[in-house]
């Protein structure tokens, strides 16, 4: 299959690269000529394990190309994937579809022969129909079908998620388009990956419903964790106990400082807005959004509390700034709420993150960025772990303790054991476990 991918952001780049790994002939298109030049020179703009190597391999073998010429790419393609950004719109939180519709207009003028136009970006219900309308209006004679094919990849595990998905959702009732999509994903039949064939609308809603459900699961365990602290229970035992019930499932029951990232916050807001617009408000999603927002601030209060009620003039070492490990992505990271709250409380912050600091420098004021975990610690009154990077799991705790002014650790990801930490002489606070 000849595939054109429009947009070389996270989803576009990973999808295009993985399609080329399947053996398809792929060209990724972006308006940003500088980005394309650097991709052609082998420079990958995002940090994603395995991506660089896969791009290099498939570029070398000729399966993967990068360019700015949308017209030629679309003319030659059997399928065109729209993977441009859909940021949160200011005001109502609905997804901003400006880029999707602009791409559709451009694609329309270049369609030749039968082409499947696929929305890969996360788009609200009804977007596929609007893309269909734009294509028809711009090129009444064109032969095409519009398909929704949402992406479920997690940052940090994107390649694995794409190459070994739990399922692939294909939103179209048109037989010809189903056949093209079946052909594109044929390599996955080796793993008997289910292809869920459904309508455009069901497919679009599946993506939002999936993300909102996972966000709800996290928020649920976060609240159970708070209750655990009150009653002297251990949230990990509770999560394991409920997670072994297959109706619940063990994943996404890890408590923490609240969910962040480029998807859950944005998608829950957009889904809630759709539900309001349609007169069928999703109250549970509204509550999840609200709890999660407040939770980030509560984490700052937890740190202040661990420091004896005030951080004024205190030196706080912070490990981890990104919204989760194995990414350089700072979008909606809890650190963006926690650190400013501590600074406002008068704290002096020294922070380190293995990949996120370049971006963090643009987003966080009054923070001293250090080049290693230990460099944050000299004379610290408290250590706060915000992101569970592997390198923070095996700190030399004797060294940590000897460097700090007072051995207080607030572990917002529960990567250390409370009993062990007490034995080592730390004042240790975590989430949902007895101190
Ligand atoms: C998510 C979805 O998993 C993916 O399917 C979708 O396509 C995009 O959004 P991603 O944002 O990359 O992926 O990260 P994910 O691993 O899902 O984590 C999201 C947030 O939830 C992070 O802030 C993470 O720390 C938090 N989280 C996740 C928890 O706090 N507890 C958990 O048990 C799991």
| CATH number for position 38 | 3.40.50.720
**Residue 92: what pLDDT?**
85
d(CA 253, CA 363): 29
Q: What is the 3-state secondary structure (H, E, C) of 185-252?
A: CHHHHHHCCCEEEECHHHHHHHHHHHHHHHHHHHHHHHHHHHHHHHHCCCHHHHHHHHHCCCCCCCCC
Q: Is the distance from the beta carbon of residue 296 to the nearest atom of ligand 1 less than 6 Å?
A: no
pLDDT at 435 over 80: no
Provide the pLDDT confidence category of residue 429 given band limits of 50, 70 and 90: very high
Tens-place pLDDT, residues 198-253: 999 999 999 999 999 999 999 999 999 999 999 999 999 999 999 999 999 999 99
Is the distance from CB of 262 to CB of 155 less than 8 angstroms?
yes
**Stretch 405-431: mean pLDDT, rounded?**
97
**Residue 198: what pLDDT?**
98
Provide the pLDDT confidence category of residue 93 given band limits of 50, 70 and 90: confident
Q: How many domains does the chain have?
A: 2
Q: How far is CA 432 from the centre of its chain?
A: 24
| Structural domain range at position 135 | 2-198
Q: Is 86 annotated as a binding residue?
A: yes
Looking at residue 145, what DSSP letter applies?
E
Q: Is 309 annotated as a binding residue?
A: no
Tens-place pLDDT, residues 108-147: 999 999 999 999 999 999 999 999 999 999 999 999 999 9
pLDDT at 91 over 90: no
Boundary-marking domain end, from 138, 165, 198:
198
Same domain, yes or no, for 158 and 31?
A: yes
In a domain, 41, yes or no: yes
**Residue 47: what pLDDT?**
87
**Residue 224: what pLDDT?**
98
Q: Is 154 annotated as a binding residue?
A: yes
CA 179-185-188 angle, 5° bins: 135
Provide the 3-class DSSP secondary structure of residue 122: coil
Same domain, yes or no, for 28 and 136?
A: yes
Same domain, yes or no, for 187 and 312?
A: no
Range list of β-strands (E), 154-204: 168-171, 195-198
**Residue 324: what pLDDT?**
96
Q: Is 253 annotated as a binding residue?
A: yes
In a domain, 279, yes or no: no
Boundary-marking domain end, from 198, 217, 247:
198
**Residue 152: what pLDDT?**
94
In a domain, 217, yes or no: no
**Residue 185: what pLDDT?**
98
**Residue 306: what pLDDT?**
97
Residue closest by Cα to atom 34 of ligand 1? 252
Active site residue 263: yes
Boundary-marking domain end, from 198, 230, 264:
198
In a domain, 53, yes or no: yes
Tens-place pLDDT, residues 350-399: 999 999 999 999 999 999 999 999 999 999 999 999 999 999 999 999 99
Residue closest by Cα to atom 28 of ligand 1? 252
Q: What is the pTM of this model?
A: 0.94
Residue closest by Cα to atom 2 of ligand 1? 154
d(CA 400, CA 317): 11
Tens-place pLDDT, residues 331-360: 999 999 999 999 999 999 999 999 999 999
Same domain, yes or no, for 192 and 298?
A: no
Of the residues 9, 259, 268, 325, which should be mutated to test ligand 1's pocket, given the most ligand atoms within 8 Å of the CB?
A: 259
Q: Is the distance from the beta carbon of residue 153 to the nearest atom of ligand 1 less than 6 Å?
A: yes
d(CA 48, CA 95): 25
In a domain, 250, yes or no: no
Place of tokens 């476990």: 433
Query: Looking at this predicted complex, what is its ipTM?
Result: 0.97
In a domain, 270, yes or no: no
pLDDT at 89 over 90: no
Same domain, yes or no, for 294 and 189?
A: no
d(CA 266, CA 282): 15
What is the number of the ligand 1 atom nearest to the C-alpha of 156? 12
**Residue 95: what pLDDT?**
87
Q: Is the distance from the beta carbon of residue 218 to the nearest atom of ligand 1 less than 6 Å?
A: yes
**Residue 19: what pLDDT?**
98
In a domain, 210, yes or no: no
Tens-place pLDDT, residues 265-276: 999 999 999 999
In a domain, 301, yes or no: yes
**Residue 34: what pLDDT?**
96
Is the distance from CB of 9 to CB of 85 less than 8 angstroms?
yes
Provide the pLDDT confidence category of residue 288 given band limits of 50, 70 and 90: very high
Tens-place pLDDT, residues 26-81: 999 999 999 999 999 989 999 899 999 999 999 999 999 999 999 999 999 999 99
């Amino acid at each position: 299959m000849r595939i054109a991918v429009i947009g070389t952001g996270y989803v576009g780049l990973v999808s295009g690269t993985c399609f080329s790994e399947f053996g398809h002939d792929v060209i990724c298109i972006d308006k940003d000529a500088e980005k394309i030049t650097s991709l052609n020179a082998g420079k990958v703009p995002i940090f994603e394990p395995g991506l660089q190597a896969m791009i290099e391999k498939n570029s070398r073998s000729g399966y993967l190309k990068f360019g700015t010429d949308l017209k030629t790419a679309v003319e030659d393609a059997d399928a065109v994937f729209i993977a441009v950004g859909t940021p949160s719109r200011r005001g109502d939180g609905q997804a901003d579809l400006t880029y999707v519709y602009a791409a559709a207009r451009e694609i329309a003028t270049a369609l030749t022969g039968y082409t499947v136009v696929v929305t890969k970006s996360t788009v609200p219900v009804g977007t596929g129909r609007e893309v269909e309308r734009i294509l028809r209006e711009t090129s009444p004679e064109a032969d095409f079908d519009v398909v929704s094919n949402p992406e479920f990849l997690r940052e940090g595990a994107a390649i694995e998620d794409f190459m070994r998905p739990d399922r692939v959702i294909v939103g179209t009732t048109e037989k010809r388009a189903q056949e093209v999509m079946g052909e594109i994903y044929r390599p996955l039949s080796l793993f008997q990956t289910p292809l869920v064939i459904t309508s455009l609308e069901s497919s679009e809603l599946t993506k939002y419903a999936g993300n909102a459900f996972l966000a709800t699961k996290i928020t649920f365990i976060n609240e159970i964790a708070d209750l655990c602290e009150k009653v002297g229970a251990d949230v990990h035992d509770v999560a394991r106990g409920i997670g072994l019930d297959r109706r619940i499932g063990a994943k996404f029951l890890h408590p923490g400082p609240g969910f962040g990232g480029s998807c859950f916050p944005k998608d829950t807001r957009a889904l809630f807005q759709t539900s309001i617009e349609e007169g069928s408000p999703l109250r549970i999603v509204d509550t999840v959004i609200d709890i999660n927002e407040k939770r980030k601030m509560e984490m700052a209060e937890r740190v202040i509390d661990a420091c004896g009620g005030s951080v004024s003039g205190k030196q706080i070492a912070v490990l981890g700034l990104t919204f989760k490990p194995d990414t350089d992505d700072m979008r909606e990271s809890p650190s963006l709420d926690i650190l400013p709250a501590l600074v406002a409380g008068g704290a002096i912050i020294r922070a380190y993150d293995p990949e996120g600091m370049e971006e963090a420098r643009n987003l966080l004021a009054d923070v001293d960025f250090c080049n290693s975990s230990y460099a944050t610690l000299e004379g610290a009154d408290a250590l706060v772990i915000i992101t569970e990077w592997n390198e923070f799991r095996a700190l030399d705790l004797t060294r940590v303790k000897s460097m700090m002014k007072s051995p207080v650790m607030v572990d917002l990801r529960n990567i250390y054991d409370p009993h062990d930490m007490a034995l080592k002489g730390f004042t240790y606070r975590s989430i949902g476990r007895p101190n």
